[in-house]
A and B are shown apart, each in its own frame.
Chain A
Amino acid sequence: MPPVLGVSGLTKVFGAREQEALRLAGEGLGRDEILRRTGATLAVHDVSFAVERGELFVVMGLSGSGKSTLVRLLNRLIEPSAGTVEVEGRDLRALDDAQLRAVRNEKISMVFQHFALMPHRTVRENAAYALKVRGASAAEQRERADWALETVGLLERAGARPAELSGGMRQRVGLARALAADSEVLLMDEPFSALDPLIRRDMQDLLEQLQSELSKTIVFITHDLNEAMRLGDRILMLKDGRPVQLGTGPEIISAPADDYVADFTSDVDRTRVLTAGDLLREPRLTARLGDAPGDVLRALGVAEANGAYVLGEDGRVAGVARDDLLARALQEGRSALGPRELVPDYATIGADRPVVEFVHLVGRHAVPLGVVDDDGRLLGVVPRAAVLDALSAVPVRGRRS
């Protein structure tokens, strides 16, 4: 099955000498050089990616990196110079005007940086716009618009006009307008950039919650890497219209492709991006219920550790065997690890939890923090050193003298 949104070799040149600029871009010339030689601006060059159903795909770059152009190429608000855009396997560039309008109306919705609401219409009429264009009945328009407004928590303001709402509320209307269309693909062009930081956080929460309920296919544009890391399943870094790196947030943080990316990542709050899974290490030592206390104690001595996780038959954590309790078990002549030798001197965390949620648990117990899956099976441990290492690490290429 094709991806919901597939982009291949997408390129946009603004200016008269398009073909020549394309040829120079193909030779790898930079944007400035192309502008000097042809007078044409290379806005986006050779961008390819595929977004799966339910994925939140972030395109990230500074202003002028071509990200706003890129998102408009995806619904042909701007006509691409080269490359293809496929929505559910249909090439948008092969469509005539009427077909394109139908696809925009039914398959792709868009949310704008400055909300782009119609000031002379009510919130409800704004939310219902796609359905109005579609020619839906008044009752259906109302029903869908009200559902969407309720989803974004703004139904009680349905009769207001945009000018009466705060910025955050207006963008909720923008979101409702996109949701009411019930399209599979959602294009979001820096939707939260114009909002205050606190409101922005609320809107990010709202989007995460919506996404967990509705599983849209989202292309999200931003210049804020913290936002990108927080929301994005994968992130495409753009620089001067060219893709420089594509990967998950932790991948980009731990291995930035070049100085440009490294510059971004140096500002990122790593404690919110890196998860327990990213810092996971193989435990140096684990024991099983029924092991001989003497063997475990000797192994602890070799490993220079004070305790070890003891796992049950199913691989779940049964408890921790601590050296002092093991020594007493030996003195008392018990031959197998049982509940009496175990203490709950440990803490565990899910693999998907960010560092910020577990940093206070690290180093408090006889054993390193345990990382467990949903069933409570031990996947690995996060030693204190691993956390400190990850938070203090400066990516090699980004290091400035």
Chain B
Amino acid sequence: MIPHIPLGQWVSDLIDWLLDTVPWLFDAVSAVMQVLVNGLTDALVSPPPVLWIVVFAALALLLRGPWLALYTVLAFLLVVSLELWVETMQTLALVLVAAVIATAVAVPIGILAARHRAVSVIVRPVLDFMQTTPVFVYLIPAVFFFGVGVVPGVVATILFAIPPGVRLTELGIRQVDREVVEAAQAFGARPGQVLREVQLPLALPSIMAGVNQVIMLALSMVVTAGLLGAAGLGAVVVRAVTQLDVGSGFEGGLAVVLLAVFLDRLTAAFGHPTALSRLVRARGRRVPSGAATAAREPASVGERQPA
């Protein structure tokens, strides 16, 4: 006979123990998340929608081009006319906070995994576990630790969104041309310099693809977060489901899709050479030594054309 292993019991004991031992930790995390999400929501909701629509369109124009700008204006005007602007902005705030935190956690882990084989070996199965665990399983400990509301939603979203960020960061750094790394080392660069001056810049497109994935996954968690009582489009959809209200369910779902397309196209542009080189160039101009270079450089035609 195979003895019963009380694995579930152990996990729930562990959670109880954590709650008893470091309750202040969860309170602190909860408070910080609350402040971040609420602050961002207020900033997005307080001014008239037109202001933010103009800002979003300007971003789209700068990073991607006129078509995305046009889409942005139309999509957000539609959202306003559906009277879902506030919910959409609440969702955007949740997604942005979760994505920023997830990226802040994922990129350093990805860097470590790329530099140290041991870290990679440990991290990989953990990521597999995180990606294959059903989404709702995240929700249970999140609710235990943080109750209901927006915070457990953000926490679950962060956990769910981290894996692609880690994977694509590690992959990006590993794919950097070995000779270029060697060249930096051969001229006496310190490991930190090699990372900053060679590996990260060259891995940036891949890292940005990771960030894009992080944002999309975060968005896909919105409805789930709505189940936990987080305000926003998720709540709209959940309410529609419980009330069997097909019309408002469709409207809520459409708003999610419109937001998703906007975020995806916008952030995909980060990994794109055009946007990338513009950002790099803009940064270079601020450095005094680069100023003369940028000014003397007539066109750099090759760079502007997408490779």
Contact residues of A with B, CB < 8 Å? 72, 75, 77, 101-106, 108-110, 112-120, 122, 124-125, 129-130, 133-134, 138, 141-142, 158-161, 163-164, 177, 181, 187
Contacts and interface: CB of A to CB of B under 8 A. Distances in A.
Contacts of B306: none
A120 B196 CA distance: 12
13 contacts: A72-B182, A77-B182, A77-B185, A113-B179, A118-B202, A124-B293, A129-B187, A133-B184, A133-B187, A138-B288, A138-B289, A160-B297, A161-B302
B177 A114 contact: yes
Give the most central of B179, B180, B186, B201: most A CB within 10 Å: B186
B46 interface: no
B179 A75 contact: no
Contacts of B21: none
B188 interface: yes
Given A129-B187, A138-B289, A116 B302 contact: no
B43 interface: no
B183 A120 contact: no
A105 B180 contact: no
Contacts of A110: 182-183, 186-187
B300 interface: yes
Interface of B is mostly: helix
Contact of B302 (A114, A122, A159, A164): A164
A181 B187 contact: yes
Given A113-B179, A138-B289, A130 B187 contact: yes
Contact of B303 (A77, A102, A161): A161
Given A77-B185, A163-B302, 12 more contacts: A77-B182, A104-B186, A112-B183, A114-B179, A115-B179, A118-B184, A118-B201, A124-B293, A133-B187, A133-B193, A138-B288, A164-B303
A327 B9 CA distance: 123
Nearest to A120: B201
B50 interface: no
B208 to A, nearest CB: 14
B289 A142 contact: yes
Contact of A104 (B188, B193, B303): B188
Contacts of B288: 138
Contact of B184 (A75, A124, A129): A129
Contacts of A130: 187-188
Nearest to B302: A164
Interface in B50-103: none
Contacts of B177: 114, 116
Given A124-B293, A130-B187, A160 B300 contact: yes
B117 interface: no
A283 B9 CA distance: 103
**Interface residues of B toward A: which range?**
20 to 34
A110 B185 CA distance: 10
A102 B188 contact: yes
A124 B293 CA distance: 9
Contacts of A163: 302-303, 307
Given A161-B303, A164-B300, A164-B303, A101 B179 contact: no
Contacts of A105: 187-188
B1 to A, nearest CB: 42
Interface string B121-139: 0000000000000000000
B254 interface: no
A120 B280 contact: yes
A181 B186 CA distance: 11
Nearest to A137: B289
Contacts of A181: 187
A110 B189 CA distance: 13
A104 B187 contact: yes
Interface in B256-307: 280, 288-290, 293, 296-297, 300-303, 307
A134 B188 contact: yes
Nearest to B296: A159
A104 B302 contact: no
B104 to A, nearest CB: 23
B116 interface: no
Nearest to A139: B289
Nearest to A107: B188
B197 interface: yes
B4 interface: no
B198 interface: yes
B278 to A, nearest CB: 13
